[in-house]
Amino acid sequence: MRPYLLLTPGPLTTTETVKEAMLTDWCTWDEDYNIGIVQEIRRSLVELATDRPDEYTSVLLQGSGTYCVEAVIGSTVRSNEDYLLILSNGAYGDRMGTIATYYGIRHYVMKFEETQIVDPQQVDSYLAEHPEVTHVSVVHCETTTGVLNPLAEVAAVVKRHGKLLIVDAMSSFGGVPLNMTQLGIDFLISSANKCIQGVPGFGFIIARRSELERCKGVARSLSLDIYDQWETMEKGHGKWRFTSPTHVVRAFKQALSELQEEGGVEARHRRYQANHDVLVSRMRALGFQSLLPDEIQSPVITSSLYPHAGFDFKSFYTKLKGHGFVIYPGKISQADTFRIGNIGDVHPADFERLAEAVKECL
Ligand SMILES: *Cc1c(COP(=O)(O)O)cnc(C)c1O
């Protein structure tokens, strides 16, 4: 059932057992589904994110990760009273700016180079000069390049200024250790098909309960109202407002058990790091250079520069696919790159095999 491995940032390669979990049909009204699956997932997500689970809560929402980013911005930031500062060093940060524009939210996108991290000092200066800011949003791992932003430093600045902090941890949550309580994150967003290693179909928000409780009536979209979705899930003990992706949710529960079996987020992080290390050392030996300096590189996805001008990515891609590996094109304008994802049910030995295949495809 695996014609090739997906070395992509999601959807990614999942285990057979995660796929098999989708072979049962579930009734959305039945407690086997609501209490047995949905509530268990909601509790596990909070426990993964913080050591103070009673102060946080989670909401699951139909759609891809972007739906959840839009739902959080649209359900927490008021159009007239509030002001959102968006920190961006890539396409996902920019997308938050697009969302804010659609909603008519007062905002400012602080832009950084795609090959650099978000600079906490610049954030500090901006917040000192702009008391009108109420919310700050940032992407943890910018999947555009694979850069890992200095979340602890940024969060410390944002909290020192007393602002609400929204973090797009889509491609890092479950694969890079993080503690919402220590960092002071108010809303964290991720989705089923990234580091938890489920299949695509829904995303989730982990929220500081006291802040989410203040969001009643803020949303300007019915289906993307996270307060309403949350209230239904709380009162209905795991009930979704509208049809939920039942099979995907069941697969996600299996994926969460497999994360625990692996040893939790720390163990998964070590595996992703080992994947990345094998990838980079082998690619360097073959003459490839990484786009990013090692100090700001995440273990999630790695961008490589084309080895020479006129490198034919399309043909390289097709040949590699013939060897059983699907990789990802680049996404930045400043340099010609391609990307290889290290997340999913993939292991260092797969990257050893990949390097052999790359050698043959050059
Ligand atoms: C995957 C991803 C998203 C969401 O993308 P979708 O295509 O909507 O699933 C958002 N932010 C980051 C950083 C991502 O990696």
State pLDDT tens for residues 145-204: 999 999 999 999 999 999 999 999 999 999 999 999 999 999 999 999 999 999 999 999
Grouping H, G, I as helix, E, B as strand and the rest as coil, residue 5 is strand
159 and 184 fall within a common domain: yes
Kindly state whether residue 15 falls inside one of the protein's structural domains. Answer: no
**Predicted structure pTM score:** 0.98
Domain coverage including residue 159: 22-260
214 and 300 fall within a common domain: no
**Would the pLDDT of 289 be above 80?**
yes
Q: How many helices (H) and strands (E) does the chain have?
A: 14, 14
256 and 285 fall within a common domain: no
Last residue of a domain, one of 234, 260, 286: 260
Strands 164-168 and 56-62: unpaired
- The answer to whether 309 and 347 are in contact (CB under 8 A) is no
Alpha carbons 338 and 167: distance in angstroms, whole number: 26
Kindly state whether residue 86 falls inside one of the protein's structural domains. Answer: yes
- Residue 290 DSSP symbol: B
153 and 190 fall within a common domain: yes
Mutate to test the pocket of ligand 1, among 92, 95, 138 (most ligand atoms within 8 A of CB): 92
Q: Residue 138 is inside which H or E element, if any?
A: strand 135-139
168 lines ligand 1 (CB under 6 A): yes
Last residue of a domain, one of 260, 287, 304: 260
48 and 174 fall within a common domain: yes
Look at the chain and report how many structural domains it folds into: 2
CATH value at residue 351: 3.90.1150.10
Nearest alpha-carbon partner for 36 in 258, 247, 237, 248: 237
What distance in angstroms lies between residue 144's CA and the mean position of ligand 1's atoms? 10
The 10s digit of each residue's pLDDT in 56-98 is: 999 999 999 999 999 999 999 999 899 999 999 999 999 999 9
Kindly state whether residue 53 falls inside one of the protein's structural domains. Answer: yes
134 and 98 fall within a common domain: yes
What distance in angstroms lies between residue 327's CA and the mean position of ligand 1's atoms? 17
First to last CA, the chain: 28
133 and 231 fall within a common domain: yes
229 lines ligand 1 (CB under 6 A): no
Kindly state whether residue 54 falls inside one of the protein's structural domains. Answer: yes
* Count of residues making up the chain: 362
205 and 288 fall within a common domain: no
Last residue of a domain, one of 244, 260, 276: 260
10 lines ligand 1 (CB under 6 A): yes
178 and 55 fall within a common domain: yes
